[in-house]
Amino acid sequence: MTVQYSYIRGSRRKKMTSRIKNIIKIGLFLFLCGVILCESAWLFRSNQYLGRANIVGIHNEDPLDVVFVGASGVQNFYIPARAWNERGIASYSYCAEGIRANLAKEYLMDIRRTHDPVLYVVDLSTYETTARELDEGGLRNWTDSMPPLSLIRIEGLYRYLKQHDIGDLDVPSLYFDLIRYHSNTDSLKLWYNWLYLNTKNVWGPSKGFIPLLGHIAFEPVVVSDGRTDIDRIDIGDLCDLLDYCDANKLNVLFTFNPTGREDHEIRNTMGDYIRSRGYDYLDLHRCCEDMGLDHETDYANSGHVNYLGAVKYTDYMIRYIIDHYNLPDHRLEDEYADWNEAYSIYDEEARTWEYQMEQLIKDDKNNKTIGENLSKITDLQDWLDAIDSGEFYLLICASDYNKDFETVDDISYRAMMNKWKIDQMDAGRYIGAWDGEKCIFSSTDVVEYSDTIGQFADEVVWSIDVSDTNSIHVREECVIEEQTHGISIVVYEVCYQQIVDVITIDVDASNKPFIER
Amino acid sequence: MEEKIISILAEINDEIPAYEGDNLFDAGLLDSMLAVDLVGELEDAFDIDIDAKYVVEDNFKTKEAIIALVKRIVEG
Amino acid sequence: MSIISFKFIILAISTYIACLIVPKKHRWIILLLSSMVFYYFAGKRAMITMLALSVFSYAVGRVIEKLPVDSRKRKAVLVAGIVIVIGWLAAVKYIMATGWYNRFIVVPLGASYVSFSVLSYFTDIYWERDTSDRNIFKHILYVMFFPKISQGPITRHNKTLPILISGGDMSYQNLSFGTQRILYGLFKKIVLADRLAMITTAVFSDLESYSGWLLTVTTVLAAFELYFDFSGYMDIILGFSQTLGLEIDENFKNPFFSRSAAEFWRRWHITLGSWFKNYIYTPVVMSQSVKKLGKSVKHRVGKKAGNNIMKIIALLAVWLLTGLWHGTGINYILWGLMWGIIIIISTVLEDKYERLNDILHIDTTTVSWRLFQYTRTFFIFCTGILLTRVQSLHELKIAVLRFTNMEPWTMFDGTIFNTGITYQDINVLIIGIILIIAVECLSERYGSVRMLIQKQGIVFRWCVWIAMLIFVVIFGHYGPGYDSSVFIYQGF
């Protein structure tokens, strides 16, 4: 009996060990599959690749003194190479387009995996205080730049999603982005995607600086000193961030970069709070004059400086940092020799950028002059020549233009009709939008059309209605109203964002064209 | 009777009598078409009526099963 | 609920875990609950319809069994049961074909499959081959067992229910084999079939834009698509059942290795073929009137002709009904007739063929002859595909006319990309199809390929399965951006 009993016990134990062995085997198999699948997500990601390189690349950098953290407000503003040349400061921009400052805590956590800089500069321009609409693009620009299995990434995602209305967003595909991107086999063609299989291969271009080479001119915003009630804005994420900085004794300078935005009350309130917690705060809107920022030349759009503005911004920040923080000069140290190379590459590129910007601004100023004189011209040919010599956005329409324009002999009139394809109409209707020589829209049968000029904050909506009479709206304002005859044209100057001329062209009884204002 | 059945089976497919496996259908020696011929032959030979309800694979799987089926019907 | 969905994965995993916890004796309750959840997500009204059908078939089964054998009443109940179920199925099919809305009849998932299972249940009880269920819940489980509900297999009650009730062996072996099979099924279904669907739907919805050559290629691809889709689905559900230790009837056995049309239907959609054999072919051929006709022909013309006439009548009935089961259009009837006539001709003329082969000195044991036979069967299958993929006779005419206009260069000038398929898709398809063909060849020769892999070392084994998983996850059509794909056979 006893022999039999121990036999049963033995077999039971054997069964148990084989079961445990199987469980371990299953676990190991699943783990292996998980790791391989998650890592292969890198191959299919297609978020802003320069931003991704910045974020991944920081971990391959030598020790850094200063790290700027933010979205495009850092990416297009701060030039690390200049700081090196000026004072031997090793700095870097941890940034990608649209990434939310609400997740700055996770950004700092990520940076601190490999670096311990003397100073962090966190730009709060993309901090959401009130509007809690989920920005998937910005979120993905960061989450898709992080190793798929990173705990920091998962923590950030969880925290961000918890505070937002998820709506019909596909949440699993945020955590496990392969679900969403796997069909994006086109990305397999991109050599730089393959670099990420070993993230040691990835380097941020220009240490995180990407220049904008556009130009816009706008009136500087009047800075207000008002405050808002702190209970009415959501500063939860900021509190978390400051708590984190307290706990880890981090040295952080908070900034709001100079743009055309107008929410000063909120910023001032946040600034007060940050100062009350013992951190430095700099509202750079108030420093535009010190920086020498010129709103006529230094902006690419009202939210971002162009390369010229970036130089001014950077030089100011370097001066500020040197004055307020105790930073070493590494220029004579051998370990930092790579920085000299980085600077010389920048220096060469900078010359092209500068030249391009100069040309652009010259052209735009020239354009402005032409625009200012446009409304004084009465002769059609002169007017058309003036338009040709500049770059304008034209909104053209006709509603009931049943003139037999074949019979008009005037060469300039005929040339105009042909150039803008107005002569193709047969029912007397025409809607056209021309950006210089480029046709944006042209139709001889559509009755209503609407579109925009410019991007982001500088977007201007226009609409044309030819159902009955000619009417054109720009920025919801009526520019041409119930014009019953002729071809109406609105001339818009993109850089200075203004309407420079509004005319109607028609022919008189003797078939001579004339301009009417 | 068994011999008669075996000879009928041989007529349908000469490989059946020698088959020792457990399923004539899986072996490809018998299929539903041949089964119709077989049923016809059996009905004629023994003057019986084989109802549709008996025509299932189980009853035709092996020669033993077929013999048993015929016996059952003959004996009523 | 689609089988390729997050919900289904959760349902499958939780069913598995629940079955692990619950003692073997009570596992069928878990299966019943999961089936209810599955159907709940498919639509509440559809669920009620199915429950009503289950209760109805339970009652009919009980009544038939209680009535004395050979009584008129017994027969009347059977006929009434069959008529009601078929009437309901016909109504559902009619609604599906016409889009005609009806408040009282909902189209539930897999109506055709379920009703056939129920019909076989009635008939088997009537013939005393089977006993009716006493426990209504067990009967509901037989009708609504969720893995097989939407596309079969059409299983027989006395074979399936005992397996479901007794609870299977949830061993490590069954878990790994089952999961591997699911993976293989997913590979066929979401990597290959859904990708092929891009080409075939584009071409068949716009026949006039594509040349005869492309249409030929598309028809062949559509044949593969249907096979990958349907057999992939079977692999998924049979694999899942295997993880639970439940062995359910196979529906496919390398059908493209069939040497004749008749053999094809013993390897393709096996359970449907055997259903028609058991419940249409045999009863028709054994019915008194057909037997009488056969006997009279036998006396007048000869034994052979007598037997043939019986078979022809039964086969025509089988194939007309098979056609109607697949679809209500005239093209489906043509499709059924095509298969019927081919099978009839090969049965009737079998000995003539053998003589012809002797005269022509054709050695039927060679590989090349076998390949010829495979190709011939595949060609018939493709013709069938063409018949069922066109929407109407008018379209069929267009398609046939396209074949007079082959334009072979369209294969190479990039016209194929008009269908929306990309260069990468084509690479995946080529690799995938070659892989499947290789696997089928191996399994035709050596039996189970999974066993073959299982015998290899752990490194090789893991590499195979991880590679398969990655292939499925990366190249599968699923997730946002793609419609959660609809199985072709679910409509039937």
User: What are A231-273's pLDDT values in tens digits?
Assistant: 888 888 999 999 999 999 999 999 998 888 878 888 899 999 9
Judge contact between A448 and A463, C-beta under 8 A.
Answer: yes
The position carrying tokens 């324009």 is A405
What is the structure's pLDDT at A5? 52
- Residue C483's pLDDT band, with cuts at 50, 70 and 90, is very low
- Asked if the model's pLDDT at residue C492 lies above 50, the reply is no
For the segment C428-445, the average pLDDT, to the nearest whole number, is 92
pLDDT bucket at A65, cuts 50 / 70 / 90: very high
C29/C26 Cα distance (integer angstroms): 6
Residues C152, A323: Cα–Cα separation, whole Å: 78
Whether the bond between C153 and the residue before it is cis, its omega within 30 degrees of 0, is yes
Inspect the interface and report whether the beta carbons of B31 and C347 lie closer than 8 Å.
no
C and B touch with 3+ CB pairs <8 Å, answer: yes
Q: Looking at the predicted structure, is the pLDDT value of residue B2 above 70?
A: yes
Cα angle at A225 between A219 and A227, to 5 degrees? 125
Nearest chain A CA: its distance from C413 CA (Å): 21
Q: Which residues have C-beta within 8 Å of that of residue B53, sequence separation ≥ 6?
A: C126, C127, C128, C129
**What whole-number distance in Å separates Cα of residue C385 and Cα of residue C334?**
12
Of the candidates C210, C234, C236, the residue with the CA atom closest to the CA atom of residue C222: C210
* pLDDT score, position C105: 65
Percent of chain A with pLDDT over 70: 97
- List of E strands, A320-469: 393-398, 430-435, 438-443, 448-453, 460-465
The count of residues in chain A is: 517
Supply the mean pLDDT for chain A.
88
Q: Note the pLDDT of residue A10.
A: 64
In sequence order, the 6+-apart residues with CB closer than 8 A to the CB of C467 are: none
Q: State the sign of the Cα–Cα–Cα–Cα dihedral A435, A439, A441, A442.
A: positive
Q: What is the mean pLDDT of chain C?
A: 88
pLDDT, tens digit, for every residue of C315-336? 999 999 999 888 878 888 999 9
Residues C432, C192 contacting (CB under 8 angstroms): yes
Q: How many interchain CB pairs under 8 A, A with C?
A: 49
Query: Which chain C residues are closer than 8 Å to A180 by Cβ?
Result: 479-481
R_g over Cα of chain B: 11
**What is the band of A8 on the pLDDT scale with cuts at 50, 70, 90?**
low
Q: Does C432 touch chain A (CB under 8 A)?
A: no
Give the separation between CA C339 and CA C272, rounded to whole angstroms: 14
pLDDT higher than 50, residue C482: no
Does pLDDT of B76 surpass 80?
no
Residues of A whose CB is below 8 A from C477: 183
Residue of A29, A45, A176, A184 best to disrupt the C interface, most CBs of C under 10 A:
A29
Cβ neighbours of residue A143 closer than 8 Å, sequence gap 6 or more: A153, A156, A157, A174, A177
Q: Which helix (H) or strand (E) segment is C194 a member of?
A: helix C194-204
**Given a cut of 90, is residue C77 above it in pLDDT?**
yes
Chains in contact with B, where contact means 3 or more Cβ–Cβ distances below 8 Å, are C
Q: How far is CA C328 from the centre of its chain?
A: 17
Name the band, by pLDDT with cuts 50, 70 and 90, for residue C66: very high
Q: Which helix (H) or strand (E) holds A122?
A: strand A119-123
Model confidence at C160: pLDDT above 70 = yes
Residue of A nearest to C5 (CA): A179
Question: Given a cut of 70, is residue A506 above it in pLDDT?
Answer: yes
% of chain C at pLDDT higher than 90: 46
The pLDDT score that the predictor gives to residue A231 is 82
ipTM field: 0.86
Across A193-219, average pLDDT: 88
Residue A32 touches partner C, C-beta closer than 8 Å: yes
Percent of the residues in chain C that have a pLDDT greater than 70, as a whole number = 95
Q: Helix C212-243 to helix C172-186 angle, to the nearest 10 degrees?
A: 160
Most confident listed range (B2-16, B31-45, C11-25, C89-103): C11-25
Per DSSP bridges, beta strands A393-398 and A304-305 are unpaired
Cβ atoms of C491 and C389 within 8 Å: the answer is: no
Q: What is the pLDDT of residues A104-155, one digit of tens each?
A: 999 999 999 999 999 999 999 888 887 667 777 888 889 989 988 889 999 9
* Rounded Cα gap, residues A345 and A350, in angstroms: 9
Q: Is residue B64 pLDDT above 70, yes or no?
A: yes
Rounded to 5 degrees, what are φ and ψ at C481? 100, -25
Inter-chain CB proximity C285 and B36 less than 8 Å: yes
Determine the pLDDT at residue C477. 82
pLDDT at C141 over 90: yes
Mark yes or no for CB contact C127/B36 under 8 Å: no
Q: Is the pLDDT of residue A168 over 80?
A: no
pLDDT of residue A365 exceeding 80, the answer is yes
Nearest to B52 among C128, C262, C286 (CB): C286
For the cut 90, the answer to whether the pLDDT of residue C111 exceeds it is no
Provide mean pLDDT across the span C239-249. 92
- pLDDT of res. A491: 92
Q: Contact C174/C16 with Cβ under 8 angstroms?
A: no
